[in-house]
Amino acid sequence: MSRLSQPELQFALDAVRRAGLLAQQIQGEMVVEGVAKGDMSPVTVADYAIQALVGRALAERFPDDVLVAEESAEELRAEAGTPMRALVYSYVERATGACTEAEVYDWIDRGAAAPAERFWTLDPVDGTKGYLRGEQYAVALALIENGQVKLGVLGCPNLGGDFNGERIGSGVLSAAVRGEGAWVAVPEETILSPHMPPMQPGGPVGAAEPLQFSQLRVSPSSDAHQARILRSVEAAHTNVDEVDQIAHLLGVQAPPVRMDSQAKYAVLAAGAGEMLFRLLSPKKPDYKERIWDQAAGSIILEEAGGRITDLCGNALDFSQGQTLKRNTGVFASNGTLHDAGLQAIRQVCKI
């Protein structure tokens, strides 16, 4: 990987590896059945703890950089947040060493900043339901400069080297730098657990066991009949009926691949799928995508040779704050099938 020495990329790789380990620890130690985000659930604890971990690392490495993320510490600071606060603090302290509750709040609140000319965006746990089910989820971190995603890293703790999103693997780490390609580390053992040294203030970034990277390339297929469509397990994330109509119009015969989170972009980039549709849910017809749900995955797919646009064929615009407010939905593909996909979208969705 040609730019592994780039400080920003080294920072992102190290931060996402550590965040993935923390997500695994929380998931393994808390009961996951029958809970949902908003309760004192593993995913909520993980969201806060990972955002604190990355906020702390960013303050150490790039103190002038802005972080834009999903969470704020307001709930934890309130009296009602006492039980959650204790859990979050315990996990952050374990990951970073001695710290105070006030420091944890401040690290989380780094993510409450407004986008600037240069900023990082983080989704601590992308794929809430997948995380709770013990299936696919991702930690997603990206650097955006002047409205363009410059680099992205996806940590997918349950994805395997075969990139079959419907099976549980030992984890992959995907990364891309604009103009430099997309790369993936698929070690024989999990990338996220056994060899991570403690995070020390001012310590060397990338001090974990070195990873071996190989280049990612999308599927070259131009046969829509054999296109593998990546679909969310959760029906609420899209318009299921319209996706079915698009697949029928394209003559798709291959079974869909069902999985959650931006891990789907890693699968597309690795050539294990051809299309991904995020249509507008009938329950949320005016929904606009959050930048942290798309930034890291989009650059990894593009640098692997794929294409990503909104449903009208427009490039994703990351210059509009926390949402892609100038875009409607998302369509991602291996590139060769993109025009056919857009034509089907226009016919079905009347866009």
Tokens of 211: 């990873």
> Which run of H or E residues covers position 151?
strand 148-156
d(CA 323, CA 164): 30
Give yes or no for a contact between 110 and 53, defined as CB atoms under 8 angstroms apart: no
Q: Which residues are catalytic?
A: 47, 128
CA angle (178 as vertex; 67, 118 as ends), nearest 5: 25
Give yes or no for a contact between 21 and 44, defined as CB atoms under 8 angstroms apart: no
d(CA 160, CA 23): 17
d(CA 101, CA 238): 39
Tokens 């119009």 locate to 249
With a CB cutoff of 8 Å and minimum separation 6, the contacts of 285 are none
With a CB cutoff of 8 Å and minimum separation 6, the contacts of 115 are 66, 68, 121, 144, 291, 321, 322
